């Protein structure tokens, strides 16, 4: 990642989105415009507690999707109702920033999301008060990096977009301009 080329979504942010956001929200300074800080991809793997091979296979798939090795999340306490012991691997997480983040978002919006069956856009109800957005993906097969024949378990994931926006409206506009397809209300 040492070459000087920028991902095209990052270039679009600098060339078009900043100007659009400044005119719409009346910012006085370029530094006031909300930006995307990071993208967090999270996979809960309940079979990871009983079979380590499953979580290793899912970790390899997640690293192909994200372009970065995931960290393993272990249970913090034992819950007997779920047959869960403390310290057992139960999930995976990847935090993407800078170029990898923009490249992942570009692939997600333009390649993976159009492959979702009966897709009508995401709801805009998943924003928190500070403009961050979370969405769920039901299966990893929508990503072109995953080979359909080698999938051992269909696995979903949560993707969280962390922004520097102050309100839901600013966060929604930023993600909309980046290309996130919201459902028509």
Q: Does residue 3 carry a pLDDT above 80?
A: no
In tens, the pLDDT along 33-75 reads 888 889 998 888 767 556 777 778 778 888 888 888 888 877 7
Query: Quick one: pLDDT band at residue 79, thresholds 50, 70, 90?
Result: low
185/182 Cα distance (integer angstroms): 9
Burial letters for 157-177: b for 16+ Cβ neighbours within 10 Å, e otherwise? bebbbbbbbeebebbbbbbeb
In tens, the pLDDT along 145-176 reads 776 667 766 778 888 889 888 888 888 888 88
In tens, the pLDDT along 110-151 reads 777 777 777 777 777 778 877 788 888 877 677 767 766 677
Q: Give CATH superfamily name and number for 8-178.
A: Ribosomal protein L5 (3.30.1440.10)
Q: Domain segments of the chain: what residues?
A: 8-178
Please report where in the chains the tokens 């969405």 appear, as a residue: 135
């Amino acid at each position: 990642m040492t070459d000087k080329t920028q991902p095209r979504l990052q270039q679009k942010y600098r060339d078009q989105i900043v100007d659009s956001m400044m005119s719409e929200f009346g910012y006085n300074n370029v530094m006031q415009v909300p930006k995307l800080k990071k993208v967090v991809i999270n996979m809960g793997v309940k079979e990871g507690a009983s079979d380590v091979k499953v979580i290793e296979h899912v970790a390899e798939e997640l690293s192909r999707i994200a372009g970065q090795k995931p960290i393993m999340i272990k249970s913090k306490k034992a819950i007997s109702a779920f047959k869960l012991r403390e310290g057992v691997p139960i999930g995976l997480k990847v935090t993407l920033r800078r170029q990898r983040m923009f490249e992942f978002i570009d692939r997600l919006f333009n390649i993976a999301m159009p492959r979702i069956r009966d897709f009508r856009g995401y709801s805009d109800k998943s924003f928190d008060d500070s403009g961050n957005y979370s969405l769920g993906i039901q299966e990893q097969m929508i990503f072109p990096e995953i080979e359909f024949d080698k999938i051992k378990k269909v696995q979903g994931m949560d993707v969280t977009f962390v922004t520097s926006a102050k309100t839901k409206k600013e966060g929604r506009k930023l993600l909309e301009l980046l290309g996130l397809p919201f459902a028509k209300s």
